[in-house]
Structure 1
Amino acid sequence: MKRQSLIIDCDPGVDDAIGLLLAFASPELDLKAIMTVGGNVPVARTSRNARIIRQIAEREDVPVFAGAGVPLRREPAGAGEFHGAEGLGWLEVFEPDAPLADGHEADALTRIVMDEPEGSVALALMGPMTNLALAMKAEPRLAARMGPVVAMGGARSEGGNITPSAEFNIWADPDAAAEVFASGCEMIVMGLDATHQVRATEARIVALEASGDARAATAARLLRFSQAIERDIVGWDAAPLHDPCTVAWLLRPELFRLAPCRIAVETESELTRGHTAVEFRVDGETARHHWATWADGQGVFDLLAARLGGGE
């Protein structure tokens, strides 16, 4: 079996944690490193949370590097109201046994990508794009050297979830996102248009709870928190599952439909800060951006249940 080399850059975060669990449980993925960034909660907590999930998954072989704590040119923002003060909802937090890896995330990312064959290392971006922007600035060859960057971020037809036109990951550091989208690297983008089709319904959560596996039970508890928060704040019965779509695409690309496009990010106006301008009138043969327009929600949850429940 040919394994996909992968780095995950995340800000756990309830849905980031589920994405990590899925990646840790998938033998097709050769996880080179987990990188953390400040986003949903401050970077000290996202770094601890990534190590908590790593310990639950029994994957201490994968190093976790701490990255940027603040955006490139903005004050840090948070989304604790959707993830809990510690970032992991109702999950009990603790100090993990294994420490962080030495060194800064941007340096480690650059070293891993530059040491591997060109185009072989994919990156799953589950949070603000600060780390990648910093790494690209330090090493201009990085964009051409990377494999696909599969990012959760942005909104078009669905509108935003932090402002009427902006999704949180892009809004939190729009300057970094603008630089990454303009870099020329190949990008698969899971915006709200797709992730809002992947809903944690009661039946899907129950299926995870029924497996009896600790990893599935962890994911189900995280989803129970999201379910309660979405009902209280938004009024939805089933919370969307955003960040795991990046890993799901790497494992099962047939679960998504993509359209070639060109994406730019608004950085000048505070009114529309972080808005993603998605233009589909492009040459499909040369387009470097692909926008997810459709997702098989049941298929994504079937994949989660199978992997976290100890199945295929």
Structure 2
Amino acid sequence: MKSVPIIIDCDPGIDDTIALLTAFVSPELEILGITPVCGNQPLERTVRNALQVCELGGRPEIPVHAGCFRPMLRDPIYGQFHGKTGLGNTVLPDPVKTVEAMSAVDFLIDTLERAALSGEHVTVCCLGPMTNLAVALRMRPQITRGIARVVMMGGAYREPGNRTMTSEFNMLADPHAAHVVFSSGVPIVALALDATHQVMLKPEHVAQFVSVSGAISKTLGELMAFWDRNDVARYGSRGGPLHDPLVIAYILAPQLFETARARVFIEYESELCMGQTIADWYGKSGREPSAEIVTKVNAEGIIAFFLERLARYTEKVAA
């Protein structure tokens, strides 16, 4: 089976880290590059975190390209659930590998233009604010011809927001970028809070992951334990939602998800509703659908999927 070429655009981030570690041990994926962006933390920190996670996961050969240091038009905001460094209380060694000279935006343009010429279309995985991709699209709109699809985590449709009453963090952090991407005509699969809140990483799951994940077990346990929101009133249980990892799971195990097509609109003018994502489920706008929105997730299947993948770190040590 031929591997799927992907770019992972992210802002690590605890849940980004789990997504990256999963992708690293998935031979079905050809990771062309990682493009950190300002999001959960300032750019300097998200780049450093990405470099450290590459070394933790044993994939130092994957290039890391530094992205945009701020949103397109608004002032930066940062994540609230990832601790001071973005990795909770976990301290990783200083990275040996270094960031590439080429910027993330230039890397996206170059890679996607070459993909368009060769017919090898690339899947762009957006795990954070979509600034890098939006800037690339504004600079070279024709790169859409090199994109197979964008699989992204962000938004809230029938769920309330997690950063404001109406808005999810990634969309609020750069709503103008989200508007550019959702208006670009590229195929989009959207994993919003409606999907990610269906998969809670509970304390009993953390114990399972620690028991199977070999060389990364201590670090993974620390990250996952820090991710516990302990907010039973909102989520119905202890634990934290598996946001960004579901992007990787969707690519590798789409049978665990159900979707519905809808036109998506992003609010980028009203301060009250800034970053709100609105889905036209019933064609009221008269506009064609612009995204496949994930509506249902097989939570038990997802936990089993990640257990199987992260257990491969034990196999790597054994090998």
- Normalising by the smaller structure, the TM-score range is over 0.9
Task: Tell me: CA distance 1:99–1:231, structure 2 relative to 1, closer, same or farther (3 Å).
Answer: same
Change in CA separation of 1:135 and 1:281 when aligned onto 2, cut-off 3 Å: same
Amino acid at match of 1:248: A
1:142 Cα deviation from its structure 2 partner: 1.3
- Mapped to 1, the partners of 2:20 and 2:213 lie a distance apart of 19
Q: CA deviation at 1:180?
A: 0.6
Residue identity opposite 1:175 in structure 2: H
> Equivalent residue for 1:27?
27
1:50-95 residue CA offsets vs partner (Å, 9 max, x unmatched) = 111100111011100110010000000001x300000001211332
Aligned to 2:227, the other structure's residue is in SS state: helix
Letter in 2 for 1:207: Q
**What SS does the aligned partner of 1:76 have?**
coil
The match for 2:109 is: 110
1:74–1:173 CA contact under 8 A, matched in 2: yes
1:247-266 alpha-carbon deviations (Å, 9 max, x no partner): 10000001111101110100
Tell me the SS of whatever aligns to 1:86.
Answer: coil
Aligned residue identity for 1:104: S
Amino acid at match of 1:95: D
Give the secondary structure class of the aligned counterpart of 1:33: strand
Aligned mates of 1:34, 1:216 — CA distance in 2: 23
2:6–2:30 Cα contact (<8 Å) kept: yes
Residues 153, 168 of structure 1: 8 Å contact kept: yes
TM-score between both structures, scaled by the size of structure 1: 0.94
| Partner in structure 2 of residue 90 of structure 1 | 89
Are residues 217 and 300 of structure 1, via their aligned partners in 2, closer, same or farther at CA, if it must alter by over 3 Å?
farther
Tell me the equivalent position of 1:9: 9
CA distance in 2, matches of 1:259, 1:46: 32
1:289 aligns with 2:288: no
Query: Which amino acid in the other structure matches residue 84 of structure 2?
Result: A
Distance 1:119 1:158, change over 3 A: farther
Q: Work out whether 1:186 is the aligned partner of 2:187.
A: yes
CA contact (8 A) 1:118 1:146 kept: no
TM-aligned CA deviation for residue 234 of structure 1: 6.4
Contact preservation (8 Å) 1:91, 1:218: yes
State the Cα deviation string for residues 101-155 of structure 1 (Å, max 9, x = none).
1111010011111112346200110000000010001111012321110000000
Within 5 Å, give how 1:1-312 maps onto structure 2. 1-79=1-79, 81-116=80-115, 117-118=118-119, 120-227=121-228, 229-231=229-231, 237-282=238-283, 287-310=289-312
Matched residue SS, 1:248? helix
User: What is the distance in 2 between the residues matched to 1:218 and 1:231?
Assistant: 23
Distance in 2 between residues matched to 1:216 and 1:148, nearest whole Å: 33
Rounded Cα–Cα distance in structure 2 between residues aligned with 1:82 and 1:186: 30
Q: Do the aligned residues in 1 keep the contact of 2:213 with 2:311 (CA within 8 Å)?
A: yes
Supply the distance in 2 between the matched residues of 1:75 and 1:154 (Cα, whole angstroms): 19
* Structure 2: stretches of 5+ with no match in the other structure: none
In the alignment, the residues of structure 2 paired with residue 194 and residue 119 of structure 1 have an alpha-carbon distance, to the nearest angstrom, of 29
Hey, what's the Cα distance between the residues in 2 that align with 1:42 and 1:299?
34
After superposition, the C-alpha distances for 1:242-300 in whole angstroms (9 at most, x for unaligned) are 001111000000111110111010011000000001112259xx743100001112222
CA distance in 1, matches of 2:216, 2:254: 23
Determine the C-alpha separation between the residues in 1 that align with 2:65 and 2:234.
34
What do you get for the CA RMSD once the two structures are aligned? Answer: 1.9
The alignment covers a number of residue pairs equal to: 308
Aligned to 2:65, the other structure's residue is in SS state: strand
Which stretches in structure 1 are left out of the alignment for 5+ residues? Answer: none
TM-score, structure 2 length as denominator? Answer: 0.92
Alignment partners' CA distance in 2, 1:92 and 1:232? 28
1:230-250 CA-partner distances (Å, limit 9, x unpaired) = 449968512101001111000
8 Å Cα contact 1:152/1:191 also seen in 2: yes
Is the partner of 1:63 in helix, strand or coil? coil
Q: Cα distance, 1:175 vs. partner?
A: 0.5
Q: Distance in 2 between matches of 1:127 and 1:157?
A: 20
% identical aligned pairs: 37
Task: Give SS of 2:293's match.
Answer: strand
